[in-house]
Structure formats: structure tokens, C-alpha cells
Structure 1
């Protein structure tokens, strides 16, 4: 999907949140916000919001003299997510429908998003997710597709959320033991998205194969991916793509059998899906 007028204000607001996150002084804050506002005056409206935002974040990092603007926030989100794993494991085990409980576990982690228009409380989301229906529910079709799939590419989104992704993949491996999973991460630090560093620190490589997409944007962009990542994207029997960034970058789709799992956190994505902010989505195309 392409960037809309509403996205411009959202990206500007994100730049202000960056300044708060890195505790920038007034002078640095002014340079960062002014740079973003000026750059957005020439935004290419044929591109997706993550593609427009990516170079802006790269330059904000240069201005702030850091490689990872949200390093500390990602560490905190990971610690917070880990504290909920026992509860989520038990919820899946005791559920009357472990598959649906697994999908809900995947989606609830998508609350951890530092670039969203609207923020949600993780604790509240976890307490309510198992009684919240998918507003777009292709879970039955997804289950049938998984039964036929030998290979699944699971494209991650945010750090912290990746802890829930690990539990999700472990649960899916039990339900579909014939299926081989690969977990794909971003090519370099961008917003609070998961990279190889966070994935390896969490031991994701002991759960399944972990692949660096090579993509520098907060969402999978095929044209920017490494040849290895492109090949897996093309050949995997099923792709599970987490979060709004992946949805924005991969809509319209380049192939069939892509399942988008996300929580709607902005008006533009809500309009694209015909849903409401706060809805949870399981959409198989």
C-alpha cells in the first residue's frame, strides 16, 4: 500500500518520539524534527510508508550519533515479553483450541510497536486477547494451508514481539511436525524492529533457522532483500507476516499464501482492511 497524507503527520510524530527516547537536548531535537519535516515535503507518494520512513530513521541515527535509536527500548520490551511467557505457555496448553490460542499469542506481541499512531498496554492486551475474536478471521484456511505446507517463512516485526514469535513457532511445530520454519529478521536496526542480534540473544536459532532478510526498511520489501531471502520468499509454501509494516510493504502481494497477523494501530491500515483501530487480524491471501 502507498503512503497517505495521514502518514506524513505520523512520521513527524515518530521523529519527536525518537527525540524523547534518546533523551535529545533541545538543539538536537530541533535538528531531527526539522530534518524529517523538510524531507517529508518531497515524499514520494508511490512508495509505502515504511519505505519512505526508512532513510529518515537512518539519518536520524546519524544525527544522534548512534547505530540503534531504540536499543534500550528493545531490551526493555524483550525483558517485559519474557515475563509473560509462562502465562502464555499455560494458556496455549490449557486452551480448547491450541491453534487459535497460538495465533492469539502471535498477535498480542504486535502491541509492542514504537512507531504506531496509537499505543496499547501489553498487560491489558494479553489479559484480553484470548477472549477477543479476530475481526478478519482466516484461521480455518490458515490451518488447512499449514497441513499442506512443508516450508513456512515467518517474517518478524518488532523486538520484544519476537519472544512471542518464538513461542508461536514452537507451538506450531508441535501442531504441524512435518513443517520446517524459518524466522526472518530485518537487515539492520530500524525503529524497534527485530534484527539478528535480538533473535540470537533470545535463542531463536535453537528453535528454527533464523535468516537476515537484508532489508533496511520496517517491513519486508522484496526488491531490497538479499538473493537468499528473495529465493525463500518465492519458494516457501506459506508465509506468515507479522505486523503493520510487513502488511504495508507487502500489499498488494507478490504471491499467494501470505498470512498477515497483526493488530490494527493506525487509521490508514484500518481503512485498507476495512476494520477498526484495535482490531486483530488473521488474513490469508
Structure 2
């Protein structure tokens, strides 16, 4: 997806959220917000929103003298997510259709998006997702693909959300024991995206392979990925990609058999998917 005019105001608003997240004083806030607003004047409208945002976040981190702008918020999101894993595990185990419960669990995590808002009510989000059908529903196609696949690449999105990804992966392995699963994370801290640090803190390497994509953007950009990550992307039988950032970076798609799992959070993605803001999506192409 290429950036749209609406994305400019969204990225500008994110700079203000960064200032709130790092408790910036007035002088630092002015520097960060001014820098972003100036940089956006020359935005390249042939690029995707995550590609535009990545260098801006790098510069904001430099101005703030921080290697991880959302470290505190990511830790909080992860701890909050952990408190809900027993409930979600029980929900999956007691479900009449465990795969749907697994997919809903994965999507529930996608509400933990600090780029959209610094605070969130995870309990309400969980209840909402489990009581909402997929607006774009390719779950039966995905079920068939999972049955025949030998290798699955699961591309993560946000920290905190990765706690639910780990739970989803554990149950996918139980449902489809022939699957060899790799969980892919970002190359370095960018917004609140999951990196190797959060993945290892959650012990995901104990349940499946974990790979650093090498990508510095809030979404998987093939041309920026390491050779190893590109090879896995090209050769995996099936890919599950979480969140809007991955959807934005991977649309149009470079291959078939990618399932996008996400909650629609903005008008640009809403128009692209022909769905409403707030809808949950399971789209297999």
C-alpha cells in the first residue's frame, strides 16, 4: 500500500504520542513534533506508511536519546497480556472449534497497538473480539491450508501481542502436529513492535523457531529483510502475518498463501479491505 494523505496526519499525531510515552518535557516535545512535521512535508507518496514512519522514529529516538522509545509501555502491555493467558487458554480448550478460538486469540492481541493509542482496555477488547465474527472470513480456506502445510511462517506485530501469539502457536502445533513453525520479529525497536528481546523474554524460542527479520520498519518489507528471512518468506508453505503494518507493507503481495490477521484501525486500511474500522479480518490470498 502506498501512503495516503490521511496517513500524514496520523504519523504526525503519533509523534505527539511518543512525547507522552517518554514523558518528554516541553523543549524535547517541541523538537520531536517540529522535526516530524517538517519531514512529512517531503513525504514520498510512492512508499508505504511504515516505510515513511521508520526513519522518523529512528530520528525521534536519537532526539530522545533512547534506544527503545516504547520500552516502558511494551513491558506494561506484556505484563497485562500475561494475566489473560489462562482465560484464553481455557477458552480455546473448551471451544467447539479450537482453530477459530486460536485465530480470535491471535487477533485479540492485535488491539495492543501503541501507535494507535497509548492506553487500552484489554479486557473489553478481548470480549469484543470473541463476540465478533470475522468481517472478511477466510477461516475455512486457512483451515484447509493448515491441514496440508508443512512449514508456517508466523510474522509478529506488536509487543504484548506476542504473548497471545505464543499461545496461538502452541495450540496450532497441537492441532497441526506436522507443522514446523517459525516466529519472525522486527530487526530493531520501532514503535512498539516485537523484537528478539521480547520474544526471548516470553520464551517463544522454547516452543518454535524464532527469527530476526532484519527489517527496521513497523511491518515486513521484503527488500529490507535479511537473506535468511527472504528465503524463509519465499519457501514457507504458508504465512500468517499479524497487524496493519504487515498488511500495508505486503500489499500488493509478492506471493500467494499469506493470511492477514488484523483489526482494522484506520480509514486507509478500511478502504483497502472494503471493511469498516473496528472489523476483524482473516484474509487468505
Separation of aligned partners in 1, 2:187 and 2:195: 6
Contact 1:117 1:266 in 2 (8 A): no
Partner residue in 1 for 2:93: 93
Separation of aligned partners in 2, 1:131 and 1:101: 11
Partner residue in 2 for 1:258: 258
Separation of aligned partners in 2, 1:283 and 1:177: 23
By how many angstroms is 1:130 displaced?
1.9
By how many angstroms is 1:114 displaced?
1.1
Partner residue in 2 for 1:228: 228
- Does 2:48 correspond to 1:48? yes
Contact 1:111 1:125 in 2 (8 A): yes
By how many angstroms is 1:118 displaced?
10
1:156-190 Cα deviation digits (max 9, x unpaired): 00000000000000010000000100000000000
Separation of aligned partners in 1, 2:116 and 2:77: 15
Partner residue in 2 for 1:113: 113
1:129-148 maps to which residues of 2 (within 5 A)?
A: 129-148=129-148
Q: Which range moved further: 152-161 or 120-129?
A: 120-129
Contact 1:116 1:266 in 2 (8 A): no
By how many angstroms is 1:66 displaced?
0.6
Partner residue in 2 for 1:196: 196
Separation of aligned partners in 2, 1:194 and 1:255: 24
TM-score by length of 2: 0.99
Separation of aligned partners in 2, 1:170 and 1:107: 15
Partner residue in 1 for 2:28: 28
Separation of aligned partners in 1, 2:118 and 2:10: 10
Structure 2 portions without partners, runs of 5+: none
Instruction: Quote the RMSD (CA, aligned, Å).
Output: 1.0
By how many angstroms is 1:127 displaced?
1.7
1:68-96 Cα deviation digits (max 9, x unpaired): 00000000000000000000000000011
By how many angstroms is 1:128 displaced?
2.6
Contact 2:109 2:164 in 1 (8 A): yes
Partner residue in 2 for 1:103: 103
TM-score by length of 1: 0.99
SS state of the match for residue 141, structure 2? helix
Separation of aligned partners in 2, 1:3 and 1:114: 20
By how many angstroms is 1:131 displaced?
2.0
SS state of the match for residue 239, structure 1? strand
Separation of aligned partners in 1, 2:96 and 2:52: 43
Separation of aligned partners in 2, 1:107 and 1:207: 20
SS state of the match for residue 38, structure 1? helix
Structure 1 portions without partners, runs of 5+: none
1:99-128 Cα deviation digits (max 9, x unpaired): 100000000100000112797532101123
Partner residue in 1 for 2:63: 63
Contact 2:21 2:118 in 1 (8 A): no
SS state of the match for residue 44, structure 1? coil
